[in-house]
Structure 1
C-alpha cells in the first residue's frame, strides 16, 4: 500500500510547478493570519449557534507555488474554529525551556499558577491543559518557526477562549516581549456534526425499520485446507442514498441544493461496497456475532482478510463486514495525493468521509435488520438456516484510520453501543507530522507550500473541515452527552506504546475528552518519558470494569517518540508496533469480551500489557 502511495506522490512531484511565485517581496499569507485562530477572522451572525461566522477574505489563505490561494468558501461555512485547533503564534527568539513552557512530556506544568501560557475558557473562567512546542520542521528557519499550542483535551463547543502569553524568555534567559492576548470561538455542536446528522436522520427516516437494498456479487466458500479460519466470504454492495454531487466519486462534494446550510439527498444512490467473512465453526445453532470493521489509512474492506482479524473472527465467532472509508480509501489515493498541490480541493475529503459514515450505518442495518443479510442464501447454511446472530446486536471494531474515524462513526451510531478503537487518536493536525505514514505527503506539501509557517496554518485550516469526518469533531458526544437521537456509547481504546503511525499523544487527548479510564500499570518502570505518565487520565480501580477504557500495549521493542512534531523514523525508535495490539491473543480476548458483554477485563494479570 505505501509503495503505491509513494509512487503516486513521486508522479505528482514530477509534474508539479516549479517553486518561486510565493517568495516575492511582501507579506506572506501566514503572517496575516497570525495569531491563529482568532475572532479577527469571524463576523457577527445572529443565525449561527455561536453568534459568529468564520470569514476569511479572498486571497487571505496561503498560496501554493503557482500563486493560487486556497479558496476560503468552505471554511466560511463554519461558525467557529476546531475544538482541537493548533494555536499558532510567532514569538521571535523564544526558548520554550527557558520560558518554562509545558512540553508534551509534562502537560501538568501547563496548569501551574505561573505557567507562561494560559488557555482560558471565558465562559467558565477555568484554564485548559495543553502542551506547546516550536515547529521542529522549521528549526533551520527561526524566522518562520511558530509556537504551536495544542489543547490536551477537546475545547468546549460554542465557547470563546482567550490565549495569554507572559514571562517569555530567550535562550540566554532574558525576557522577551509577549504578544497581546487574543481570543477565538470554537465551533458549535451543530457546526461540527449537523451535516452528517441531517444525512443520517433523513436517510433512515425514509428507510424506516426495513433493511436497505443490497446486492451480493460474489460468494466464495473455502475448504479447511484453503482457509482454516474463514468458511465463506461474501462481497457485494449496499444501496445508500447519496448526499454527494455527481456520481459521488473522488472530488465530489456534499450536495447542498440551492443555497442550503445542510446537505440534501441528490436523488441518486451510492453503491457502497462490502466484504463479509463468515468464520469457520459457526452454525445455525451457534450463529456468528455481528461486527462492522473499519480499515486503515487509504486501505480497503479486504483488510478483514488480515491474519489478526481472521484470528479474532475464528476464535470468538465474529462475522466481520467492512466497507470503504470513501474519501480516504485505496481508490482515493490519486485524488488525495493531488490535493497537496492545491488545497482548495481538500473539502472533498471530509465531505466524502461523511457519506462513508452513512454507508457504514446502512451496512450495519443490513446486517441486523429483519429481511437483511440473514435472509440471503449467502448468509445461510445448506439447509437454508441463518448463520448470523442478529439478535445479539451489532458491534464495531476498527484499527488505525478505522480507530480514528471509528470514533466519529460510533458517536452517530444508533444500531450499536460498544466499539473497539484500535491504535486510535484524534485530530489530524496533531497526527500528520508525528506519523511516518505522512512522509510522502510532507514531500508534496514542501513542494507546493514550502513556507514552514504557511504549513502550520494549513494544518489548522484543514482541521476545521476534517472535524466533520473524524473523531475530533465528535468526541465530546462519544461516551457522554450523546448527540440527538443517539444512544450513549462505551469505547475500548487499544494503544501501541511507541506507535510510529498514530501518535499515542493524540490517543491520550481522546481518552481525556471521552473520560476513558486507564489500565495501570500501563507501562513498566522506565519506559515512559513523561513526568507524570498519562497525566489527567484516571485509572481503572477494579475489574471487571463497565466504562470506557484505555489499554496500552507494549511490544518491548519500541521506544517513546520524539517530544516534538516529528515522526519517530529510524532505527533508534525500534520496529513499528502499530499492528502489535490487534495481534495479541489477550487483546483479542479483551476485545471480544468487551463487545459481547460491555465488561473490560484484565487480561494482563495486574501488570503492564502484555
Structure 2
C-alpha cells in the first residue's frame, strides 16, 4: 500500500513542482497573518490516508482539496490566490484550467475579468459542503440569533486576521425550494456587514453532526493539517504553513484546534478595486466636462400620455430627450460592450460620447410659476426603464417635485436579453457590470443638467409661461426604489451632485438577496439551464458577486454617509424597508444600513417574526420621535414577516399555509398577510410627507408617532 501511495505522491509532487509560481494558495504573502508560525514537529500520515488524499489531488489538480466534493469549495479560498507585490493586497486571484465551471454547452468560464482582482469581494458568500449536517445540532448561529456567532461554542467562526476580531454572522443550509433534499449539502455563512477591503479572513467550522447526532467525518485534506500529519504530497506541504496560520488564528479566537472540522482563509480585494474604478470614471468624466453643462437635446414634449390619456394628476408636461456623457465603453456602448481599460486595468475614456436618454415630468404649479419645483433624479427598478418615473403614484407632483430619470444601463429594459444570456454563460456578464458603472456616471451627469444654469433650466421647454425658471437649481436630490435603491447606494456614495437621497426598498449583495427574492423563480431556472448541477446556482452567483461588488451597493455601502470616498461630500439618506418584502430581502437592507452606520427607527415593526429580536443585532437605533441625520425605517403593512433562510417569503411554509398556494391572487385584498409589500412604502402618504420635508429641510421628521410605521393594505 505504501508503494502505491508513493507512486501517486511522486506524480503529484512533480506536478506541484511544475506549478510552483503559477498556482495559488502559497504562504508567502498573508495580509494580517504575519510570518508563518514556527511549525511543531509533524507525525507521518497513515499510509492509507496519504494514498487517498494524493489520489484525490491528482484527480482534481486545479481544485481545492480541503473540500473534495466541489472543486472551488470551500469558497472563497486562498487556494485561488497568488502573490503579486504590485497590488495593494499583495495578492491576485488566479485559477488553473479546470477550476472554473463549464456550462451545459461546454463553454468554460474564462478568468479574464476575475484575474484583475486582488482578492475576493466584500460581499462574497462564504460556502462549503457538509453533507447531512444538522445546523441546530451543530450549534450554527442562526439568522434570528447572529450574536451567538461571537460566543464560545458557536459551530462556525469567522476571524478577521488583520485585526484578530471575530466577525458576527449567521450560517444556514441551502434552502432553495427546487433543490432535492439529498442535494441540500451547501452551508453558507453570511457576515452582518460587508467585509473590510484588503483584510484577510479565516473561517472555521467546528465538528458538525448529522440528524442523529453522529459526528461527520473530517476531510483527509484538513485532517493532515489539523493533526499535523506529514505527507509527501507537494500541494499539501506547499500550503501547510498558511493553513496552519488559519488554524492558530481560529484557536486564538476560541475554536480549539482539536474541535476544528475545517479551516481556510481568503483575502478581500482592496478598496482600489472595489470603488476605485467608479471614482476614476467620475473624476475623468467631470474633468472633461469642466465648468460646462452636458450637451442635451429635447426630442419630445407631451401634454398627454403615450396612449393619449391624461397625464397623472398635477403633471402638466412631460419632456423627453437625450444628453451626452463621456463614454468608457467600447464602440457604440451597446449591450455586450466592455469597458476600455489602460495597462493598469483602470477605466479609460474611449474618446466617444454616450447618448443617454432622459425623461422629466413637470408639475402644473411649476409651469404656472406659482412655486419653483425641486428637481429629483429618479432611479428605476429591476430591468426597467426611466419611464417608471412618469408614474403618478409617488406623490411627486403634489409635493412640486420634478423627477427626471435615465436608464440604469447594464440592468435596464434594453439589457434583458444580455442579462438572461449571461446567466447561462457568465463569460458575458462583465459587460453588464461595465455598463452599470457607466450608468452611474450617466446619473451624475443628469443631476448636473438639473442644477447648471446652462442645463435644463435654460431650455424653453422647462420655462414657465412667462419665461422664468420653473424649478430651483440650487440643489438636486435622489430617489430610487428596488433596483433604484440598490444602485442608489452606489450613485449616492460617489455623488458630488446631491447630498440627500431616499433609498427605497434596497438591499446589498445580489448573491444573498436573489435566492431570497421571488425573482429567483424566474432567474434560477435560467441559471440551471446553463449550469445544471445542484450547487451551480449558488456558485455562479458567488462568482458574479466578485464583479458586482464594483457596481452595486455591496461595495459602496460603507461610504454612503460619513465614511466618504475621495473628493466626495457627506450624504444623508432615508432607507425605506417593506416588512416581509418578497423581492428584496429585509436582511439585505439591514446589512446595508449596518455597513453604512445608519440607525434603525424603533419600534421597527409589530412582529419581526421567526424569533428575531429588535433592534437587529449590531445596529444602532433611534427612538420614535427622535431625529437622526440618516435613518432606516420599516413600513409594516401587516404582511407576513420574512422567513429565515435563503428562500422568498411566498415560497416559505408560513405563506403557503396561510395564503393561496402558488400566488397571492385574490388573497392580496382579502388577507394583507399574503401581499407583496414591495411597492407600499413609496405609495404611503406619511412616507411621502417625510421625504418632502427631508428634501426641503434636511431634517428626518418622525411621521409615525410612538408606534411602528404602518402602511396599507393591512388587517387591523
**TM-score above 0.5:** yes
Q: How has the CA–CA distance of structure 1 residues 201 and 51 changed in structure 2, closer, same or farther, with 3 Å as cutoff?
A: same
| CA–CA distance in structure 1, aligned partners of residues 643 and 605 of structure 2 | 18
Q: Which one has the largest radius of gyration? A: 2
1:581 correspondence with 2:663:
no
| CA–CA distance in structure 2, aligned partners of residues 512 and 227 of structure 1 | 37
Q: How does 1:396-545 map to 2 (within 5 A)?
A: 396-525=478-607, 527=609, 529-541=611-623, 543-545=625-627
Q: Secondary structure at the match of 2:97?
A: coil
Q: How does 1:263-412 map to 2 (within 5 A)?
A: 263-282=347-366, 283-284=368-369, 286-309=371-394, 311=395, 313-391=396-474, 393-412=475-494
5+ residue gaps in structure 2? 1-58, 64-68, 219-259, 660-673, 711-716
TM, length-normalised to structure 2: 0.78
1:140 correspondence with 2:140:
no
Task: Say which structure, 1 or 2, has more relative contact order (CA 8 Å, 6+ apart).
Answer: 1
In the other structure, the counterpart of 2:346 is 262
In the other structure, the counterpart of 2:19 is none
| CA–CA distance in structure 1, aligned partners of residues 145 and 641 of structure 2 | 14
- CA deviation vs aligned residue, 1:181-225 (integer Å, no higher than 9, x gap): 111111111111111111110110111121110111011135996
The RMSD of aligned alpha carbons is 1.9
In the other structure, the counterpart of 1:562 is 643
| CA–CA distance in structure 2, aligned partners of residues 80 and 132 of structure 1 | 22
- Contact kept in structure 2, 1:106 and 1:532, CA below 8 Å: no
Count residues with an aligned counterpart: 580
1:599 correspondence with 2:599:
no
| CA–CA distance in structure 1, aligned partners of residues 397 and 686 of structure 2 | 15
In the other structure, the counterpart of 2:162 is 123
Q: How has the CA–CA distance of structure 1 residues 349 and 226 changed in structure 2, closer, same or farther, with 3 Å as cutoff?
A: closer
In the other structure, the counterpart of 1:234 is 319
In the other structure, the counterpart of 1:83 is 122
Q: Secondary structure at the match of 1:459?
A: helix
Q: Which region of structure 1 is more displaced relative to structure 2, 234-243 or 433-442?
A: 433-442
| CA–CA distance in structure 2, aligned partners of residues 525 and 74 of structure 1 | 44
- Contact kept in structure 1, 2:142 and 2:171, CA below 8 Å: yes
Pairwise CA distance, 1:285: 5.0
| CA–CA distance in structure 1, aligned partners of residues 370 and 346 of structure 2 | 46
Q: How has the CA–CA distance of structure 1 residues 362 and 212 changed in structure 2, closer, same or farther, with 3 Å as cutoff?
A: same
Pairwise CA distance, 1:369: 1.0
Q: How has the CA–CA distance of structure 1 residues 532 and 518 changed in structure 2, closer, same or farther, with 3 Å as cutoff?
A: closer
| CA–CA distance in structure 2, aligned partners of residues 172 and 609 of structure 1 | 44
- Contact kept in structure 2, 1:529 and 1:560, CA below 8 Å: no
The equivalent position to 1:609 in structure 2, one of 709, 712, 715, is: 709
| CA–CA distance in structure 2, aligned partners of residues 195 and 412 of structure 1 | 11
| CA–CA distance in structure 1, aligned partners of residues 687 and 528 of structure 2 | 39
Pairwise CA distance, 1:542: 6.3
5+ residue gaps in structure 1? 1-25
The structure 1 segments of at least 4 consecutive aligned residues displaced by more than 6 Å after TM superposition are none
| CA–CA distance in structure 2, aligned partners of residues 225 and 405 of structure 1 | 31
1:101 correspondence with 2:101:
no
1:70 correspondence with 2:105:
no
Q: How does 1:199-238 map to 2 (within 5 A)?
A: 199-221=281-303, 226-238=311-323
- CA deviation vs aligned residue, 1:40-79 (integer Å, no higher than 9, x gap): 1111111111111111223321111122111111011011
| CA–CA distance in structure 1, aligned partners of residues 132 and 356 of structure 2 | 53
Pairwise CA distance, 1:295: 0.2
- Contact kept in structure 2, 1:38 and 1:184, CA below 8 Å: yes
